[in-house]
Amino acid sequence: MATPNGLARIDTTHAEKKAAAKHENGICHDDSSAPVRAQNIDELHSMQRKRSAPTTPIKDTSASPFAVAVSDEDRRKQQLQSISASLASLTRETGPKVVRGDPARKGEAAAKTAPAAAPPPPQPHHHHHHHVAPTISVSDSSLKFTHVLYNLSPGELYEQAIKYEKGSFITATGALATLSGAKTGRSPRDKRIVKDEAAAQELWWGKGSPNIEMDEHTFLTNRERAVDYLNSLDKVYVNDQFLNWDPENRIKVRIISARAYHSLFMHNMCIRPTEEELESFGTPDFTIYNAGKFPCNRYTHYMTSSTSVDINLGRREMVILGTQYAGEMKKGLFGVMHYLMPKRRILSLHSGCNMGRDGDVALFFGLSGTGKTTLSTDHNRLLIGDDEHCWSDNGVSNIEGGCYAKCIDLSREKEPDIWNAIKFGTVLENVVFDEHTREVDYTDKSVTENTRAAYPIEYIPNAKIPCVGPHPKNVILLACDAFGVLPPVSKLNLAQTMYHFISGYTALVAGTEDGIKEPQATFSACFGAAFIMLHPTKYAAMLAEKMQTYGATGWLVNTGWSGGRYGVGKRIKLPYTRKIIDAIHSGELLTANYQKTEVFGLEIPTAIEGVPSEILDPINTWTDKAAYKETLLKLAGLFGKNFEVFASYKIGEDSTLTEEILAAGPKV
């Protein structure tokens, strides 16, 4: 039968009968469904995102008839008032008006506004400079809203970075590739600490110290500049997180930044709170103002470049201007922990840490190139952390919630754990990748040699969560001795452990103009001089005290050369070094026979299973014995010269401990 326009009529009765038959048989292949309940595309998009339900159970108020339950809305307002107080200028009546949510999603944040908070009370000044107090006034910033993107998830931060930050890309493995701008590393010469009365007495100042002073007025000038910049933006990222996995000694930190890259970096590197912990977070113990996209004022006192990284221990604040390198935040907080933790009789350490299946913990200290990451990453042991730790009366704990790994020349074969950790959620800094496939070329140094990956520690398969462990049994000091005169392994007494811990030795190989390569001795106090706040002997004394109290043994392990200096001898084979580390872990070396070396007076074992006995005493591997003795004395002289800056420092009331440490050094 034809339709009026001449086309054949479509017969649907057959299809309807077939569908009915299928329904009768209990089978239906029809994938149609009811239309969506959205009136427009925006409403459909809003339905796509499910609002996160609070995971915190309602607190039982039946125990107290006077207890007042805090509503979810009130809790959010308190949270925003706290953030407003953090962003408050010290020269204005109130903090900024802050509102939750992305300004690009208008209408979402209307009900999440908090009244502006009063500025924090002025802190007592501990310096003797007299400055006119600024007049409190109202500014244009008080008339606008500052949108707060609070503790965003990695997925949300990816969206922000890709949309708003040039140079952000998703790599083939799902990591977020970012650029840190002109600065691709830390700026230690632009890092300053307020020298108030307390800091003048407690911190290490002068020759050899990493601490460069500034006064409080200059800090407040830079703080004002940073806060004004952040308040001028449509939105800021706020992270409330923790440092230190030891629940009794954790620190609450707040990071306020202008970039999604910085927020995701700190999301990975700090300990991530639960929803319940966030709701009761309250006032932070320390706050970072990262205005790194904005330069400091070169006319400001103490400023020597457009970059300034400033720490005020009295105010518990850190200000970053003129550098977008994210590592400044990580290492700035590490420096703060080097100040706060010793006040609680807790030793802060720049070390790797792992634990055997039987609960035996080892600490690994070592500068770049010594094998700290390689040797502390052991598939037969659990990883507590790769870089920053605390040793308290409760045992050892990781300070961080993530890892910050070097990526230059990274390969799946050499570092499988790091390779596999570079996936969704990981931040890749300054790497180069194929513009089409997004495959990263880890050998490419076009942007910088200091390419990095920041990822949560749980991305490592054998990470121990929570990242805590019992008291260490072994303290391993690693040195890559390019002079070739240190033994592959030595057992240290307490005084020797303190001496070599304070020295922080390794030797690098550097090219000279005429092409000859000579070893260069490098010393970094406590294996992390750039981050310590107190005098190195204070950390060394705490280390010796804890080792003595809890029965830990110190070891010096040379991962460098044997049979001659660099260019003459050969590097000690990694399998031999692993056998040595295994013998330390197992306790085999505690019962070994030992002999003492000349000059350095080190105790070296006469035999280790799986390691050729002839390499255990370095003199055996040198063909030219006179050259060995000459090189040994040269290195001993370099140790002595480096230690001169520490020799006059007294620990406690007398100099007994200092003399004991000095006596443990090499005899020239």
- Whether residues 632 and 591 share a domain: the answer is yes
- Catalytic one among 147, 331, 464, 585? 331
Residue 1, in any domain of the structure: no
Q: Specify the CATH number for the domain of residue 279.
A: 3.40.449.10
In the annotation, is 387 catalytic? yes
Q: What is the mean pLDDT of residues 377-389?
A: 94
For residue 395, the model assigns a pLDDT of: 98
For residue 514, the model assigns a pLDDT of: 42
Q: What is the mean pLDDT of residues 516-535?
A: 90
Residue 604, in any domain of the structure: yes
Q: Specify the CATH number for the domain of residue 483.
A: 3.90.228.20
The count of structural domains within the chain is 2
Q: How far apart are CA 368 and CA 480, in angstroms?
A: 9
For residue 622, the model assigns a pLDDT of: 97
Check whether 30 has a pLDDT greater than 80.
Answer: no
Q: Single out the residue in 422, 439, 469 at which a domain terminates.
A: 469
- What mean pLDDT value characterizes the chain? 87
- The residue segments making up the domain with residue 170 are 148-345+393-469
Check whether 629 has a pLDDT greater than 80.
Answer: yes
Q: How far apart are CA 184 and CA 528, in angstroms?
A: 19
Q: Single out the residue in 469, 484, 508 at which a domain terminates.
A: 469
In the annotation, is 372 catalytic? yes
Q: Single out the residue in 437, 469, 501 at which a domain terminates.
A: 469
- Whether residues 287 and 402 share a domain: the answer is yes
> 141-155, 243-257, 459-473, 490-504: lowest mean pLDDT where?
141-155
- Catalytic one among 225, 235, 259, 372? 372
- For 661, the 3-state DSSP assignment is helix
- Whether residues 266 and 400 share a domain: the answer is yes
Check whether 426 has a pLDDT greater than 60.
Answer: yes
Q: What is the mean pLDDT of residues 306-310?
A: 96
In the annotation, is 436 catalytic? no
In the annotation, is 183 catalytic? no
- Catalytic one among 293, 389, 452, 464? 452
- Catalytic one among 246, 360, 387, 481? 387
- Whether residues 289 and 418 share a domain: the answer is yes
For residue 5, the model assigns a pLDDT of: 59
Confidence of residue 511 (pLDDT cuts 50, 70, 90): very low
Range with top average pLDDT, 37-41, 52-56, 70-74: 70-74
Confidence of residue 367 (pLDDT cuts 50, 70, 90): very high
Residue 18, in any domain of the structure: no
Percent of the chain predicted with pLDDT > 90: 71
For residue 469, the model assigns a pLDDT of: 98
For residue 73, the model assigns a pLDDT of: 82
Check whether 211 has a pLDDT greater than 60.
Answer: yes
Percent of the chain predicted with pLDDT > 70: 82
Check whether 450 has a pLDDT greater than 80.
Answer: yes
For residue 57, the model assigns a pLDDT of: 38
- Whether residues 628 and 498 share a domain: the answer is yes
**Cβ(268)–Cβ(298) under 8 Å?**
no
Residue 28, in any domain of the structure: no
- Catalytic one among 61, 153, 280, 368? 368
Check whether 65 has a pLDDT greater than 60.
Answer: no
- Whether residues 406 and 525 share a domain: the answer is no
For residue 414, the model assigns a pLDDT of: 87
Residue 46, in any domain of the structure: no
Residue 355, in any domain of the structure: no
Confidence of residue 144 (pLDDT cuts 50, 70, 90): confident
Residue 284, in any domain of the structure: yes
Alpha helices in 192-320 (DSSP H): 197-202, 216-232, 260-269, 275-279
- Catalytic one among 373, 448, 522, 577? 373
- Whether residues 429 and 519 share a domain: the answer is no
**Cβ(483)–Cβ(519) under 8 Å?**
yes
- Whether residues 269 and 313 share a domain: the answer is yes
In the annotation, is 23 catalytic? no
Mapping DSSP onto H, E and C, the string for 150-162 reads: ECCCHHHHHHHHH
- Whether residues 180 and 326 share a domain: the answer is yes
Residue 38, in any domain of the structure: no
Range with top average pLDDT, 8-17, 67-76, 502-511: 502-511
Read off the tokens for 383.
Answer: 């990883």
Confidence of residue 111 (pLDDT cuts 50, 70, 90): very low
- Whether residues 412 and 555 share a domain: the answer is no
In this structure, is the dihedral angle defined by the CA atoms of residues 257, 263, 268 and 271, taken in order, positive or negative? positive
- Whether residues 399 and 488 share a domain: the answer is no
Check whether 570 has a pLDDT greater than 50.
Answer: yes
Confidence of residue 107 (pLDDT cuts 50, 70, 90): low
- Catalytic one among 293, 330, 350, 389? 350
Check whether 230 has a pLDDT greater than 80.
Answer: yes
> 154-158, 409-413, 509-513: lowest mean pLDDT where?
509-513
Q: How far is CA 375 from CA 314, 372, 408, 597, in A?
A: 38, 5, 18, 25
- Whether residues 450 and 517 share a domain: the answer is no
Q: How far apart are CA 201 and CA 445, in angstroms?
A: 44
Confidence of residue 142 (pLDDT cuts 50, 70, 90): low
Helices 494-503 and 536-550: angle between axes, nearest 10 degrees: 150
In the annotation, is 373 catalytic? yes
